[in-house]
Amino acid sequence: MFVVSVSLSKSVPRDADAVIVGLTQVSGTPALVDLPSALEKDLTKRWGTSPLAVALDLGAKTKSGSTVILPTAGGVRLVVVGLGDVDVTPEQVRRAVANGVRALARLEPASPLHVVVSLDLVEPEVIKGAAEGALLGAYTYTKVGSEPDELLRVVTVVSPSTKLEAKDAVTAAVAIAAGVNQTRDWINTPANILYPETFAAAAVATSKKAKLEVEVLDEKALAKAGYGGILAVGMGSERPPRLVRISYAPRGARNHLALIGKGITFDTGGINIKPGDSMYTMKCDMSGAATVISAIQVIAELGLKISVTVYAAMAENMPSGSAQRPSDVITMYGGTTVENYNSDAEGRLVMADALARAAEDKPDLLVDVATLTGACVVALGERTAGLMASDDQTADRLLDAAEAAGEAFWQLPITDEVGDQLISKVADLRSGGHRWGGALTAAAFLQRFTDGIDWAHLDIAGPAFNEKEPYDYVPSGGTGVAVRTLVALAQSLQG
């Protein structure tokens, strides 16, 4: 993966190709934020009027999302981005910088750019947001068989701060953006290239590079240990399932976080086959596994003082003569029997096995991440993920982490009555019920495998894959949602 150089500077370097500045309201009047005086004087002399006047004439607005590129002057492009209010948040800056970078990409530069961000940045979290915005906004997926087409070579964040916290913020931004973009790459990879065996191999390679302990259970090891849910889902495919376990245990860590990810590398729905249009994007059904694998690698790179264990349950859900059927009874890891009500509700089966195994490690907190239910998309739309938890305190921990990361989650309840849908006449549990409140029912099922440990379930079915045009720092295709939230969670739990 090409690595963009990111650094802090007190001034605009002379070799800059583009400078991103902000437009905001000051006492009701539009004003440019932190436009370097030397550059302003040079541009005013060249144009015969101020850069602000030129920007406004070209349609620049203070509204978030507005982006205008001023005509080339002396080889440097001035990118004016709307910042909204004067008191900007890290997320506003993250979005604004990303919009500026994407605007530069539309110009199709002949070579990678040196982009400078000059937005009067002082606070570490805002500096971090700016760097993340540049790196996330520049993301593109390299077509199969093609060479990468890189947009950025250097990002310089202008800041008067020389504190260690500011430099650490840049370091964190680089690591987090790399983790998000790795997740995006995995999600965007076609399912004939990324399937359980190759996905597990990729997890091993990247985890060993991060000096993490990693173990892979193949179909024989899964059968020996009794992982009935993962095996049942993978029964219909010629490509057998895998369970990847990755661990990070730094010296001095007091808390233990377990992360579980759904890794269905392609979901046809199995015997309960999906309509063709609904199947096209199902290479993204492994987003949860990609998210937790990337998250632990970022956590390790940042050296956070918390033990983390990841379980990524990987399978391909295909229809065939050997595929599982609705009404089959499956013996899960740990011995619980489950009546399968629908083979297109496969994610909860692989997740339940992984949750049961993770609970044996006795972590302080279990968090699972999955593109689990269409019902969650119906409830919350395509840009907000669902959060369900064992208790409100645990939910608040996740919501606080999501807010710090700038990601949108909304808490949904696990109501008492949804448990009635899990009653089976032939097994300990039924894996689901009717369509109403399907996201809640799925969460209630997963909770049965947490052994009473504090637990949160992140249903990212809506925001994990963007079928529409890019916006802010979100590309088309895989988005990498929840990586930043999990890293922020780990930071908050350091002992």
- Catalytic site positions: 274, 348
Q: Could you give the angle at which helices 287-301 and 164-188 cross, rounded to 10 degrees?
A: 150
Q: Please give the Cα distance from 370 to 385 (Å, whole number).
A: 10
Q: Which amino acid is it at 280?
A: Y
Q: Are 108 and 150 in contact (CB under 8 A)?
A: no
Q: Please give the Cα distance from 81 to 86 (Å, whole number).
A: 13
What is the CB-side half-sphere exposure of residue 186 using CA atoms within 13 A?
32
- Of 168, 97, 108, 153, which Cα lies nearest the Cα of 130? 97
Q: Which amino acid is it at 222?
A: L
Return the residue matching tokens 């990755």: 246
